Amino acid sequence: MNANAKVLDSQQLLIHWQGHRNLTRRVIEAFPEKDLFEFSIGGMRPFSKLVLEMIAIAGPALKSIVDGTITEFDESFNPTTKVEILKKWDEETEVINEYFSQISEERFQEMFNLFGQYEFPIYQNVLYFIDNEIHHRGQGYVYLRALGIEPPFFWERER
Amino acid sequence: MNANAKVLDSQQLLIHWQGHRNLTRRVIEAFPEKDLFEFSIGGMRPFSKLVLEMIAIAGPALKSIVDGTITEFDESFNPTTKVEILKKWDEETEVINEYFSQISEERFQEMFNLFGQYEFPIYQNVLYFIDNEIHHRGQGYVYLRALGIEPPFFWERER
């Protein structure tokens, strides 16, 4: 028994997350422009809104954690084209790369009051960003299927 | 910069996963019996089949990793009621608890040929089990919304 075994280091988790982000990017690309902004099921948000939530969380949250400043959750970025979303997505890829590696081992276990609302250890906050992306992207898969579009394979994470 | 910072230990990841599994269990419970086995969107599998995939992966994969034996992927368990699925879910909760803590720090970085098909470091295999559950559960959320049923909150992980 070794319940305190270290599972992975931050570089491995960063690669894992960016692999997921590559897949999410391809799911965005798979949507027809109109459906990205308008299609929904059961009163849910269109996929563009789910993606904008991911964008509002990832980079800003990491910046906030590294800088140690509490910023409010800001979803004011309101693009109207797929190209704008993908451009922002790629910019945030670089922001994530820059800030993620600056979180030290000690800090992953520290509490942080993310967006002044979510007080959890930083490792839990980071896992939440990834889990939330997978959750909403899974919803995007159903939208694509309902539109008769084959989504990318879930296990393909390369760009 | 500290790219090799340890993010979390295996006990923390186990708690994280069992929190997700608590939520998945509540999503199963939220489905009307008939819809659990029959409702689908866009030609996808009904939610029962997605859950049976999770059940076929988690416990058997951990057993296989700990025992060091390659077993074939087995989806032959074929329940016809929600009660049977929930019973099996709870049994697997105990299997996961028993085996997860037996994976040592060194082994998380070792390659393992899961089900004789997926040759990856064990930490990647374990993250895959969790990610796959979140992905398919997210699809279950859309099914519930399409059925006019409010799913449990994504961030509530307690039993």
Which residues in chain A are contacts of B102 at CB distance < 8 A?
A: 1-2
pLDDT attached to residue B6: 87
pLDDT attached to residue B154: 92
Question: How many A×B Cβ pairs under 8 Å?
Answer: 147
Whole-complex ipTM? 0.96
With a pLDDT cut of 70, the percent of chain B lying above it is 97
- The mean pLDDT value of chain B amounts to 94
A3–B16 CB contact, under 8 Å: no
Q: Which residue has the higher pLDDT, B56 or A156?
A: B56
Which residues in chain A are contacts of B128 at CB distance < 8 A?
A: 155
pLDDT by residue (tens digit) across A113-136?
999 999 999 999 999 999 999 999
Confidence of residue A3 (pLDDT cuts 50, 70, 90): low
Fold (CATH) for A10-146: Four Helix Bundle (Hemerythrin (Met), subunit A) (1.20.120)
Whether A2 has a pLDDT exceeding 60, the answer reads: no
pLDDT by residue (tens digit) across B73-130?
999 999 999 999 999 999 999 999 999 989 988 899 999 999 999 999 999 999 999 9
pLDDT attached to residue B158: 79
The whole-number average pLDDT for the span A81-93 is 98
Whether A54 has a pLDDT exceeding 60, the answer reads: yes
What is chain A written as a DSSP string? --TT-EEEEHHHHHHHHHHHHHHHHHHHHHS-HHHHHH--STTPPPHHHHHHHHHHHHHHHHHHHHHT------------SHHHHHHHHHHHHHHHHHHHTTS-HHHHTSEEEETTTEEEEHHHHHHHHHHHHHHHHHHHHHHHHHTT-PPPPTT----
CB of B120 within 8 Å of any CB in chain A?
Answer: no
Whether B41 has a pLDDT exceeding 60, the answer reads: yes
Q: What residue spans define the domains of chain A?
A: 10-146
A138–B139 CB contact, under 8 Å: yes
CB of B70 within 8 Å of any CB in chain A?
Answer: no
The whole-number average pLDDT for the span A40-63 is 97
With a pLDDT cut of 90, the percent of chain B lying above it is 90
